[in-house]
Structures are given as structure tokens and as C-alpha cells.
Structure 1
Amino acid sequence: MLDKHEMSSMSDFLEESSVREKMKRKRKNEDENDESEGNEDRLSDLPDGVLLHILSFLNTKHVVRTCVLSKRWKHLWKRIPTLILHSSRFSTVKQFSIFVSNILTRLDNSTALHALDLNRLGNIEPQILKKILNYVSSHNTHIQELGISVSADSSLIMSCVSSCHALTSLKLSIYPRDRYDFDSGILFPKSLNLPALTSLNLSNFVFCGDENGRAEPFLAFTKLNSLVIGSCKARDAQILSISNATLVNLAMHNSSRPAFAKIELSSPCLRTFTFNGRPVHKICGSGLSSVKQVNITAQMYSVNDMSHMVLFSWLLELANVQSLTVSSTTLRILSLVPDLLDIELPSLCHLKSMKIKLEPSEVQLGLPLILEQDMLKKAAAKSRKEVAKLRKAFKTGWQLPSIPEGIVNFLLQNSPSAKVDITTY
């Protein structure tokens, strides 16, 4: 059996080459001439199960198009076990809605649905969403992978999700239909019975706290291996507790607004920690001590921001990390820590490799100005002459280096033999 990479390559070939060529031939010849000498169709000789497996990697719009290839393919698409419904593949919202409505009435219901990925940019028509959710619910004992990214009524979606007890992978990015209410977030159920779940990806959810001001939304997922949290918030809670005995990979992505003051990590099997956004959460507990791989792409927006100190506190907890990937912006933020290069770092003692990704200036927002102000402040502590010299340099177009001087050696002070790789995004 081919692996995912090979399947993806084969599906790209099918989409970009085979489908188009065979559609052209279909328009030119009758079905019986397609199988004549010189037009050998080796793809159609494969068993149905193999063809359906290949088609599962394609957007459903392209899967349906295969019906014109030959008589063999006319009804094959109706037995597809995976639906990938992305509105970006359609010119108008109306085309997307008509397509979805049509295929859901033509699919072979005797074929179990194993995976569905719905992505609708903006509001989805309520009747179309209801049809999709009803179809999912009718296969709730078989579906294993579910992804929904829409602006819609969350109660309908969460009701459907809660009935799919066989789910192993769940990705939810739900926003209110009212664009003025986007910052409110969707309440995440305190008890969600998904015993087989191993992968969870959440965006724009609100976790409710208990009487102690602690939110613990993931306790029920006893097989969870991978967790992604994006722009989530807490209600009546200052602490987000991620306590899970099986969690291996944790990724966090946040907006510019603080979501909760502290993250309490108690995941002894945690090996990978990925962060993208503004470091605002203090991390406590034993969670980071087991981490082997760290990926950080930090951001900073204000001169009064304390992101550099939070970021530094994270590094102090990375006692056993072996692989560190950081953006150049992350290193620039870290350089704002007072007297950083004079500090003896107690962590990063087992580092084997460090990768630095150089970011273009347009993604750094107001950081260059923050760095300039910091340099001027440090120069003022020395003399007015130093300040004047620095102001003149800035005026003539001198720019701060992408990687602050001395910071790489600072991070490698306990692992001087670690390999350093500098790349561009």
C-alpha cells in the first residue's frame, strides 16, 4: 500500500493530468473507442477499493468530475468514503451550495463515511449546513475524522459532534454568524464524550472555569495525542489546565489579546511544543520538562508589552529540549530582556540542533520601532553622545540586524556543539 506522500502525489497527477486528458478524450470518442488499442486505460484496471482510496485525497469537486471518464467511473464517485467540501474551489457561494446539496442526495448511503472536511469562508446557509450535519449524523458510528470551519450556529454543530463517538480526529473553527460578535468565542462543552479521540484542533472557543478559577477542558480525552489551540479564551478562569497523561504534541496560536493569565501543564509524555503568536501566558507545572522539540514564532506589538520576559521564562523551563526552531523575530523579542547576554542560562543543556528562520520585515509590524526605542534607552544610560550617534544612524537608514549580536551564543552556552541552521521563510 502506498504511503500518504505517494498517495498525495498520485492524486495531484490524477487531478492535473489524467482527469483533464481523459475528459478531452471523452468529448472526442465514444466509450467503446476509449478502450481500443493505443488508448490503454491502466488506471481503470485497478480495483474499486484502490481507486476510492486514491480519490479520497482529492477535493470532492474533482472526485465528482471523474464520472465522465468512462462507464466504469460513472457511479464510482458515489461510494467515496471521504468528503472534502471547500467553498474556495467555487466561483460563487451559490455554486458551492448547489453542489453540496446535489451530491448529498446522490451519494450511496450504504457506503460508510469515514472523513469529512468542511471549509466555508464566511457564513454558510443554514439549510446547507443542516444537510451536511444530518449526513454526518447518519454515519456517526463510522466517521473517524471530522473538520468544520464555518460561521454558523454552533449548537447544531456541537450536537452533531457529540453524537460521533468513533471520532479519532476533530478540527473545529467556528465563528458566530454576526460579524460584530466575532470576539465572543464559542463555549466548549465541559463534558464531550469522544473516547477514541487522539487529535483535537480548536479555534475561537471559550473554556469555562470552575469555582477555583481553573479551566480543565481536556480531562475526558484519555487517548489524546495531539492538541492544537488557536485564539481560545477562558471564562471565569485565570488558569488553563492542560492535564493529560497521553498528550505528545501541543501547539498554541493566539491573537494579540491575552486569553488567560497562566497555563498549567501536567503532561508527562509531552514531546513537542509549538507556539505562534504573542507570548502572554506564563507556563507552570512540569509540562515543559519532558519536551524534546520546540518551535516558536513570536510576535510583539507594544513597547509596554512583557512578551520578552514571558518568552524568557519559557526558555528557562526547557531543561531537556534537543531541537529548537525559532524565527528571527523571536530572537529580536528575546533580545529586549535586560542584560540578557550576561545571564547564565540554566536550561538548553541537551540541545543538539537549532534552526533560525529569517522573517521578512513586513511580518514584524511595530517591532523595529520597539527595538530602536530600547536601544536609545540603553544608550541614554551611557551618554548623550551615544544617543546622538544612534539617532543619526537610524536617520541615515541603518537597520538593526535580523539576528541580534551575541544571542545565538547565549542560547548555545550550555550546548556549544549544537548544529545551527539559518533559513528563510
Structure 2
Amino acid sequence: MLNQHRMSDSKEESLMILENMKKKKRHCDHQNEDRLTDLPDSVLLHILSFLKTKHVVQTCVLSKRWKNLWKRISTLMLHSTNFSTVKRFATFVSKVLNFRDTSTALNALDLYRHGDIEPHLLKKILNYVCSHNTHIQKLGISVNGDSGIIMSCVSSCHALTSLKLSLYPRGSNGSHTPILFPKSLNLPSLTSLNLTNFAFCGAESDCVEPFFAFTKLNSLGIRSCKVKDAQILSISSETLVNLAIEYPLEKMNLAIQTDYSSNFAEIKLSTPNLYTFSFTGDLIQKICRSGLSSVKQVNIDDSRQDDASVEHGLIIFNWLLDFANVESLTVTSTTLQILSLVPDLLDVKLPSLCNLKSLEVELTPLDEGYLSQTIKDAMLKKAAAKSDEEFFKLIKAFNARIELPPIPDGIVDFLRQNSPSAQVTYTTEFPHRFHLMEVEESDSAASPNLYG
């Protein structure tokens, strides 16, 4: 039996859940009946399917009823973070695959190994997946390993509805050498796809469309992916509802480019049913107009601070023009700072955001650096245009190292100029840097600040 006599600390999530349920039962039931154990196997297995496999296996010590139950689990969550050494993780995985009931269909497998995975262990796991390829519906693999055998295994799993891949070459030590995404991948039932560190290769045309074969795709996530030998990444889908993009989709041959604006791929969307759109990273992509017209929920987190410019602010502004039907908008304060670089922005009449119902601003720290200096330069230019007095007043404030306002003055009202009743909320993961109540009060009041 697999680690029957080895228990982890009582704080382990799975045992905490199970033991708490049993304690509550003993407290409430005078007949001392084990109501949890009396549940049908199907119910218990369903509960266990939400736990990591290490925790599932640990239930075998609870009683005779639980001794072999784990062997019939249909979901395997194999995460190396739950083990103190790589060797213990490898031993555990091997034993799970050896002792698991082979007559039980494997419906889902999630493999996570931060860093390199031993080739023999990876091959063993993939062979196991392939032996259940007619049943497995959900597959997640996040490793540094041989992408060739991984993609070969994936291509054999035609019943997949959900696929999540985060792949790096073995020995890459965190480098971002991209994995080539296959031009043809026959997964007719796929509804959810998440990719990290892939390169989408173009052909004869200047446009690459890597997802056209997934005719049932509902959710798509792209993280740290690149476009090679093409200018345009095309995402065309009648069924796509949720789209999330993280980090730039850069061209691979940046060194030979001379025009800065052509260094990055354009995103062409043909997604008439897209509902949720999220972008996180350095917002440098241009999106084909009308590509976001159906979207109702938007999340934009432009985290660039090193080289933000008016051009990047204009890209954000152009995105806003496409949000004709957006009802919920979430942006970071850094995104708003970059947007504020657009000259005379507050004088512009927006034709969009007419249906906005909620606006959430996530406050993020603005570090001393390129972006903060660019903002200061823009403020000084604006102050100088008003009067010398305003200019020198601002110089004095900067010399006193007064912090810039976390949100540019007037920009929240600018976003909701066509929906003045939209509810505004402020959140932050940095409570030591921001006082939300003060931000709300300063934003709602017409009090003077550094922006004049």
C-alpha cells in the first residue's frame, strides 16, 4: 500500500476536511454512525476528485472502507510542490500509477513540476495518459521537458474538452525559448485551451491563425506566447466567449526591425460572441477595430513602467473606442497613468462605454522610474502652459518628493462620461501603500492636487 503509515501534518487540506466532518458527526449523532463513510462510493469519489492526489491517497488510513477507495479516483492532480524532494515526488507518482485501478477510466490529469522533470518519469506519465486517451477529457501539463513527446501524447487524446499547457525546454532554467505550436491539432471536442510559452508560426501569408480547427472553443488563454514569421495573430471563432491574454505577443525577429510600431503583432479578432476579455502585461498590441464590440466584461492590466509612452497611451485609448457594449470594466491605476499621457485626453468625447455599469480600479504602486518621470514631464508641460506660477509650484512639489496621485485627476469621470451612474470601486493588493478611503474621498471631491 502507498504510504499508508505516513501522515502529513494535521493541517493538510484533505484530512482537515474529512476529519472535521467526522468530528462534527460524532458531536451531533448520539449513535456514533459514520455518516461520511456511509455515503455511496460515487459521492465520496466525487468529493475526492477536487483534492490533490497526495491528499486523496492519505485517506486510505482513515478506515478499512477508505483503504482502496483512492485507487478508483478518476482525477489525478500530481503537483511536485506538495513534496519536499523531487525524488519523493517521482516515487509517489510511480506508485500511484502502478497501484491505481486500471479498470477505472482516467477523466482528468493535471501534472505540475516547477522546473525540469526526469525524462523517464515524464514518459511514464504520458504513456499512462495515452493508455486512457479515449476517456481523458481534461489535461494539464506544466513542466520543463521534451515538448515533442508531450505534444504527441496530446494529439492522441481526441476526447479532450480542456487542455492547459505550460511548457519549457528541459534545462532552460526559466528562459523563454518558445515551443512551436503544431499547425494541425485534431481535438474536435476542445472547449477550453490555455497555453504558456508557445510560438505560433506563420506560413505564406502575413497572418497566423492557430485556433481555427477548434470549432467548439469557448475559453482561450494565451500567456507569454509569440508570433513567428507573421505580423498578425488572428483569432476567429463563432463559439469563443472568454479570451485572456498575458504578456506581449512579440515577433521573433525583432533584431531586423527598424520601425518600432511594427515590432509587435496585431491581434485580429473575429469573435462575435466574445463576452469577457482580459489583458495583462505590456499592452503593445493593436486590435483590429470592432473586434471587441460584443464584449461585456473587460479587465486591463498594463504593467509597463520602464518605457511607457504616449504611443502606449494611445493604444489603450483605441481599445476603449471598441468597448461599445461593455458593462463591467476593471483597470489598474498604472493603466490609467499610461492612458493619461495622451495629450488633451480629458477634452475628448468618448463614443463608447455608454452601457458601463461598474468600474473597478485596482491600485498598484507607481515606482520611481521612467513612467513616473514621463508623467511629471507631462504635468510640467501642462503647468507651464497655464502660468509660470503653476510651473514653479509644481517644481517645488516635485523637489519636496511629494508622491504622484495614484489616479490621474479627472480620468475616472472621463471613463464614465457616457455612464455617470456607473458604480466605481477601488481595490488593492498593497494596503500598506494605499488608503482606499482616502483615495475614494479625493476622487469624489473636487479638491486641487498635483494635476492642477
> TM (normalized to structure 1)?
0.89
Pairing partner for 1:56 from 49, 52, 70 = 49
- 1:268, 1:226 → 2: CA distance? 14
Matched position secondary structure for 2:214: coil
Q: Is the alpha carbon distance of 1:225 and 1:256 closer, same or farther for their aligned partners in structure 2, counting shifts above 3 Å?
A: closer
1:187 counterpart residue number: 180
Q: Is the alpha carbon distance of 1:374 and 1:178 closer, same or farther for their aligned partners in structure 2, counting shifts above 3 Å?
A: farther
1:296 counterpart residue number: 300
For the Cα contact (< 8 Å) 1:289–1:318, is it kept in 2? Answer: yes
Amino acid at match of 1:346: P
Residue 230 (str. 1) matches residue 223 (str. 2) = yes
Amino acid at match of 1:356: V
- 1:98, 1:377 → 2: CA distance? 65
Q: Is the alpha carbon distance of 1:378 and 1:300 closer, same or farther for their aligned partners in structure 2, counting shifts above 3 Å?
A: farther
- 1:105, 1:361 → 2: CA distance? 52
Amino acid at match of 1:359: T
Q: C-alpha displacement at 1:380, in angstroms? A: 4.8
Matched position secondary structure for 2:37: helix
- 1:365, 1:115 → 2: CA distance? 46
Matched position secondary structure for 2:123: helix
Structure 1 residues 192-207: aligned runs within 5 Å: 192-207=185-200
1:409 counterpart residue number: 413
Q: C-alpha displacement at 1:386, in angstroms? A: 4.2
Amino acid at match of 2:374: I
Q: Is the alpha carbon distance of 1:234 and 1:255 closer, same or farther for their aligned partners in structure 2, counting shifts above 3 Å?
A: closer
Amino acid at match of 1:349: C
- 1:390, 1:169 → 2: CA distance? 54
For the Cα contact (< 8 Å) 1:347–1:414, is it kept in 2? Answer: yes
Pairing partner for 1:348 from 353, 358, 379 = 353
Amino acid at match of 2:74: P
2:316 counterpart residue number: 311
Residue 218 (str. 1) matches residue 223 (str. 2) = no
Amino acid at match of 1:368: S
- 1:177, 1:381 → 2: CA distance? 57
Amino acid at match of 1:134: N
1:173 counterpart residue number: 166
1:27 counterpart residue number: none
2:338 counterpart residue number: 333
1:8 counterpart residue number: none
Task: State the aligned residue count.
Answer: 401
Q: C-alpha displacement at 1:103, in angstroms? A: 0.9
- 1:168, 1:69 → 2: CA distance? 34
Matched position secondary structure for 1:148: strand
- 2:399, 2:419 → 1: CA distance? 39
Q: Is the alpha carbon distance of 1:327 and 1:103 closer, same or farther for their aligned partners in structure 2, counting shifts above 3 Å?
A: same
Higher mean displacement: 40-49 or 117-126: 40-49
- 2:22, 2:163 → 1: CA distance? 36
- 1:273, 1:73 → 2: CA distance? 44
Residue 18 (str. 1) matches residue 32 (str. 2) = no
Q: C-alpha displacement at 1:327, in angstroms? A: 1.4
Q: C-alpha displacement at 1:382, in angstroms? A: 5.2
CA deviations on 1:199-224 (whole Å, 9 max, x unpaired) are 00011000011211111000000000
2:62 counterpart residue number: 69
Matched position secondary structure for 2:361: strand
Pairing partner for 1:389 from 362, 376, 393 = 393
CA deviations on 1:214-240 (whole Å, 9 max, x unpaired) are 110000000000000111101101100
2:265 counterpart residue number: 261
Amino acid at match of 1:221: F
2:428 counterpart residue number: 424
Structure 1 residues 60-99: aligned runs within 5 Å: 60-99=53-92
CA deviations on 1:317-339 (whole Å, 9 max, x unpaired) are 11111111111221111111111
1:33 counterpart residue number: none
Amino acid at match of 1:326: V
For the Cα contact (< 8 Å) 1:22–1:69, is it kept in 2? Answer: no
Residue 115 (str. 1) matches residue 78 (str. 2) = no
Q: C-alpha displacement at 1:389, in angstroms? A: 2.8
Q: Is the alpha carbon distance of 1:225 and 1:142 closer, same or farther for their aligned partners in structure 2, counting shifts above 3 Å?
A: same
- 1:150, 1:60 → 2: CA distance? 18
- 1:246, 1:100 → 2: CA distance? 37
Amino acid at match of 1:335: S
Q: C-alpha displacement at 1:376, in angstroms? A: 3.1
CA deviations on 1:389-418 (whole Å, 9 max, x unpaired) are 323212213111111110011111111122
Mark the runs of 5 or more structure 2 residues left unpaired by the alignment.
1-11, 24-28, 253-263, 430-452
Q: C-alpha displacement at 1:287, in angstroms? A: 1.9
Residue 249 (str. 1) matches residue 253 (str. 2) = no
Q: Is the alpha carbon distance of 1:283 and 1:58 closer, same or farther for their aligned partners in structure 2, counting shifts above 3 Å?
A: same
Q: C-alpha displacement at 1:358, in angstroms? A: 1.8
Structure 1 residues 103-142: aligned runs within 5 Å: 103-142=96-135
Residue 357 (str. 1) matches residue 350 (str. 2) = no
Amino acid at match of 2:347: D
- 1:320, 1:421 → 2: CA distance? 20
For the Cα contact (< 8 Å) 1:274–1:294, is it kept in 2? Answer: yes
